[in-house]
């Protein structure tokens, strides 16, 4: 086993050295002189490699199947430039000895391809450069740029289509993951091709410059250093340079064509031959009309009749073959008389449960929640869950994030058990400057409100962040805005997040440390449904469940006397009085409180004693609400907590009625610890 592992290690290491060694060899070719025989081998290899790349782009099923093409294009371009440098060195050093000084390949292209006439060679080279640089390379570069831009713009829509198919059950999670990965790879591929096409364009420019440098340098070296006549120097160096240029331009033209083919291919699982045959020659009328026109031209006197008539006959024959192939009758369709037979049998797996916590975003906000691109909101939501779990004392359920095409592009919606509890709008390319209450100037931005607390705010450009902070604004990014709004709503509705399963988990964790307590409490004294309701009551009044042992002990103590969740909740509040007051007023020795006027409190107590509920006229409730709102605002401005102290009978009703008053805490007399001094602020009528 050890020998196999060592063998595999060395095999992998050797295979991994291939590309680094190739790059080092290319760099060495630029520095070390090469003999003509090595140049012949490398030029031949370069032409063969360019042909192989061109044919790969033709036969590949999809452009993404040749995803390494941008890297290959860079390496091959470097190889060709290194060969240009190596051949230039040989031409300038040995060109005086004749046209075979740089090897047989360059000599063949200089003598045989252009007939030994350097004027013809210059014209052919110029034509090749024009075709490569002006037509193929420029067009391929433009297509690459547009393809990259359109691919990136289409990414949100494609991702939303995948989510829609996933939600509709058309695909499963694994297929959705593969399709999302393919979208990312497609964007990366066309983005790389947009940059890689510049390699070919630069290579074409380099070929022109190298041609003129070689000719001028060769003439100077041949006449000045080797005493050649001007005509001999022009003959030798020009033919060698043209041969060298043609040897480089032909592979360059092949690569330019390969780039153009790969970027103009559609993303479809067919090779180029299948696409051409299925789209260009699929209609027999096209071939028939083409053959008819070419045949008419072939019958005109003076035209090359044989060539035109032969091609017309070939087009007619191909049209007949295509028409016969399309006339093959399709297989008869077997109709199913039972409309429900093709549908799979429904099971409970087809019933989707409602998400406990949901976050829906418009399509412009998808980058915020895209985990594959490190969307900042995903990490913020994890932080919100962790913070609330520590504060509230139970595990907050995961947030199910998805896009919603019905929302406005910049809008997000927060839902709880399938029902929307909050909705707002953010601008992904801007920051939110929030007025905390005291600022020193106005900002130039889009006026709005902070969705979490309703404060005055402005959407500003990122460049205005420092200016806004100097004026006293609190500046946050869009991900923080959504995360803060989510945290505030979850904290406000924490009682709806705690269900039977979460309560059971709390009891199971408590049973590890206090097994006798849990054994006595449930199910002997109280069923889990009563315990759940008590815990939900506490959360509804912003009392965390961190001290679950104290809560359980109180329930065990009073569970034999009553199973009313409201009575038990009041008993738990008394036992947690010290922590409740600490959360409100901190460690200060005095507790500033508001009280009700004696006559009003007497009426409320009598009403509660008579029928168990408190009945007041709507006008009286409205006036009481307004008075408490004013007092609470005054306390907040003074930096003091707003606490209303009432009798235990009145406290539950008063807490429910005044819950929407911000920062108002309603406490009962028996919930205040004995060592806490009470400071009377005002009596509310």
Q: Which residue has the tokens 């000045």?
A: 224
Nearest to 625 by CA among 641, 611, 644: 644
Tally of residues, the chain? 685
- State the alpha helices, DSSP H only, in 576-660: 577-585, 598-611, 618-637, 651-657
> Which two structure tokens, joined as six digits, stand for 112?
């045989």
Q: How many CA atoms lie within 13 A of 487 on its CB side?
A: 21
**In whole angstroms, what separates CA 215 from the centre of its chain?**
53
Tokens representing 541? 């009044």
**What integer best gives the mean pLDDT of the chain?**
79
| DSSP structural state of residue 350 | G
CB contact set of 131 (below 8 Å; sequence gap of 6+): 253
pLDDT at 610 over 90: no
> How are strands ordered across the β-sheet holding 642-646?
664-668, 642-646, 590-596, 677-684
The predicted pLDDT at position 112 comes to: 61
CA distances from 339 to 170, 303, 345, 350, 585 (A): 19, 65, 13, 19, 69
Separation in Å, CA 164 to CA 158, 159, 356: 10, 9, 20
Section 348-364 average pLDDT: 82
Q: Would you say 375 and 367 are in contact if contact means Cβ atoms under 8 Å apart?
A: yes
pLDDT grade for 95, boundaries at 50, 70 and 90: low
Per-residue model confidence (pLDDT) at position 611: 46
Mean pLDDT of 628-640: 83
- Reference 39, options 249, 254, 217, 248; nearest CA is 248
Number of other residues whose CB lies within 10 A of the CB of residue 572: 24
Among the ranges 13-17, 131-135, 503-507, which has the highest mean pLDDT value?
503-507
* Predicted confidence (pLDDT) per residue in 226-243, tens digit: 777 777 777 777 777 777
Helices (H), 586-617: 598-611
Q: What is the mean pLDDT of residues 302-314?
A: 77
Helix (H) or strand (E) holding 590: strand 590-596
Residue 354 is classified by DSSP as: P
Least Cα distance to 432 among 459, 411, 451 occurs for 459
pLDDT at position 334 is 46
* Strand, coil or helix: 544: coil
The H or E element containing residue 400 is: strand 399-403
**Residue 632 and residue 661 in contact, taking contact as beta carbons nearer than 8 Å:** yes
User: Residue 232 corresponds to which tokens in the numbers above?
Assistant: 């001999």
Highest-pLDDT range among 74-83, 244-253, 524-533: 524-533
State which H helix or E strand residue 366 sits in: helix 366-369
CB-based contacts of 232, cutoff 8 Å, min separation 6: 222
Q: Which of 334-343, 504-513, 523-532 has the lowest mean pLDDT?
A: 334-343
* pLDDT, tens only, 318-339: 878 877 776 655 554 444 545 4
> Helix, strand, coil % (nearest 5) of the chain?
65, 10, 25
Separation of first and last alpha carbons in the chain: 88
More confident site: 187 or 612:
187
**For residue 352, pLDDT beyond 50:** yes
**Given a cut of 90, is residue 424 above it in pLDDT?**
yes
Give the phi and the psi of residue 671 in degrees, each rounded to 5.
Answer: -95, -10
Q: How large is the average pLDDT for residues 196-219?
A: 74
CA distance 389 to 41: 70
pLDDT score for 274: 61
- Residue whose entry in the numeric block shows the structure tokens 């993303």: 267
Q: Quick one: average pLDDT of 344-349? A: 71
Q: Over the stretch 470-495, which tens digit does the pLDDT of each residue have?
A: 888 889 999 999 999 999 999 999 99
Q: What local confidence, expressed as pLDDT, does residue 221 receive?
A: 78
What are the residues whose beta carbons fall under 8 Å from the beta carbon of 164, sequence distance 6 or more? 405
- Least confident span in 121-135, 389-403, 417-431, 545-559: 121-135
Q: Which of 30-34, 159-163, 204-208, 534-538 has the lowest mean pLDDT?
A: 159-163
Q: With CA atoms as reference, report the closest residue to 658 among 612, 604, 607.
A: 604
CA gyration radius, the chain:
41
Comparing 131 with 549, which gets the higher pLDDT? 549
DSSP one-letter string for 355-421: PSEEEEE-GGGHHHH-GGGT-HHHHHHHHHHHHHHHHHSSPPPPEEEEE-TTS-TTEEEEEETTEEE
Nearest to 93 by CA among 216, 237, 235, 210: 237
Torsions phi, psi for 645 (to 5 deg): -105, 120
Alpha-carbon span 248 to 80, nearest angstrom: 7
Tell me the CA distances in angstroms from 281 to 15, 121, 277, 285, 426, one per residue in order.
45, 38, 5, 9, 52
* DSSP, residue by residue, 438-450: --SS---SEEEE-
Residue 397 DSSP label: P
Please state the pTM of the whole predicted model.
0.52
Assess whether pLDDT exceeds 80 at residue 456.
yes
CA distance 182 to 130: 37
Predicted confidence at residue 683, as pLDDT, reads 85
More confident residue, 270 or 128: 128
How far apart CA 310 and CA 290 sit, in angstroms, is 13
Stretch 22-37: mean pLDDT: 74
Neighbours of 352 (CB within 10 A): 8
Tokens 């497609």 found at:
186
At 361-419, the pLDDT tens digits run 998 998 888 877 778 888 889 889 999 999 999 999 899 998 888 899 899 999 998 89
Q: How far apart (Å, rounded) are the C-alpha atoms in residues 312 and 327?
A: 23
CA distance 435 to 442: 10
Rounded CA-CA distance 130/128 in Å is 5
């Amino acid at each position: 086993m050890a020998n196999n592992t060592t063998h595999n290690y060395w095999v992998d290491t050797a295979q991994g050295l291939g590309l680094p060694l190739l790059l080092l060899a290319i760099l060495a070719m630029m520095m070390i002189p090469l003999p003509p025989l090595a140049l012949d081998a490398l030029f031949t290899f370069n032409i063969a490699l360019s042909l192989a790349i061109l044919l790969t782009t033709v036969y590949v099923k999809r452009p993404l199947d040749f995803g390494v093409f941008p890297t290959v294009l860079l390496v091959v371009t470097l190889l060709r430039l290194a060969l240009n440098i190596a051949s230039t060195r040989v031409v300038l050093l040995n060109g005086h000895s004749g046209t075979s000084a740089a090897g047989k390949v360059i000599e063949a292209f200089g003598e045989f391809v252009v007939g030994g006439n350097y004027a013809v060679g210059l014209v052919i080279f110029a034509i090749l450069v024009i075709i490569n640089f002006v037509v193929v390379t420029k067009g391929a570069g433009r297509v690459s740029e547009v393809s990259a831009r359109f691919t990136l713009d289409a990414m949100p829509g494609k991702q939303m289509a995948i989510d829609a198919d996933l939600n509709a059950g058309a695909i499963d999670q694994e297929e959705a993951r593969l399709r999302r990965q393919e979208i990312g790879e497609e964007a990366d591929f066309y983005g790389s091709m947009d940059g890689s096409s510049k390699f070919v364009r630069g290579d074409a420019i380099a070929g022109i410059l190298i041609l003129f440098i070689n000719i001028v340098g060769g003439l100077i070296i041949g006449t000045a250093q080797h005493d050649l006549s001007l005509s001999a120097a022009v003959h030798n160096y020009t033919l060698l340079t043209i041969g060298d240029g043609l040897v480089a331009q032909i592979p360059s033209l092949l690569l330019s064509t390969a780039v153009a083919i790969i970027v103009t291919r559609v993303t479809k699982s067919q090779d180029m031959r299948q696409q051409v045959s299925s789209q260009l020659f699929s209609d027999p009328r096209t071939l028939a009309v083409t053959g008819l026109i070419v045949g008419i031209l072939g019958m005109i006197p003076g035209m090359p009749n044989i060539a035109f008539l032969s091609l017309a006959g070939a087009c007619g024959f191909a049209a007949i073959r295509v028409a016969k192939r399309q006339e093959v009758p399709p297989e008869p369709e077997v109709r199913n008389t039972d409309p429900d037979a093709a549908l799979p049998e429904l099971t409970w797996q087809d019933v989707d449960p409602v998400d406990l916590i949901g976050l829906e975003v418009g399509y412009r906000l998808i980058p915020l929640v895209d985990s594959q691109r490190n969307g900042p909101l995903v990490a913020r939501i994890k932080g919100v869950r962790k913070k609330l779990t520590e504060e509230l004392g139970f595990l907050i359920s995961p947030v199910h994030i998805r896009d919603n095409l019905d929302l406005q592009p910049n809008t997000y919606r927060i839902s709880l058990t399938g029902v929307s509890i909050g909705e707002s709008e953010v601008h992904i390319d801007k920051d939110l400057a929030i007025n905390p209450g005291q600022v020193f100037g106005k900002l130039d931005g889009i006026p709005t409100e902070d969705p979490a607390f309703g404060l005055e705010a402005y959407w500003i450009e990122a460049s205005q962040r420092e200016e806004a902070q100097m004026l006293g604004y609190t500046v946050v990014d869009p991900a923080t805005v959504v995360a803060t709004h989510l945290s505030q709503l979850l904290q406000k509705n924490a009682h709806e997040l705690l269900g039977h399963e979460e309560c059971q988990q709390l009891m199971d964790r408590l049973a590890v440390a206090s097994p006798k307590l849990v054994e006595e409490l449930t199910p002997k004294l109280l069923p889990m449904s009563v315990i759940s309701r008590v815990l939900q009551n506490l959360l509804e009044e912003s009392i965390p469940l961190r001290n679950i042992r104290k809560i359980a002990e109180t329930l065990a103590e009073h569970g034999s006397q009553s199973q009313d969740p409201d009575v038990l909740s009041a008993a738990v509040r008394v036992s947690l009085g010290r922590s409740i007051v600490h959360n409100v007023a901190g460690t200060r020795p005095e507790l500033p409180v508001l009280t009700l006027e004696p006559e009003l409190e007497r009426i409320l107590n009598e009403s509660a004693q008579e029928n168990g509920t408190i009945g007041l006229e709507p006008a009286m409730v409205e006036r009481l609400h307004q008075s408490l709102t004013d007092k609470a605002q005054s306390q907040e401005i003074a930096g003091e907590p707003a606490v209303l102290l009432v009798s235990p009978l009145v406290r539950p009703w008063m807490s429910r009625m005044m819950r929407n008053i911000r920062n108002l805490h309603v406490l009962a007399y028996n919930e205040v610890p004995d060592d806490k001094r009470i400071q009377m602020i005002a009596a509310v009528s």
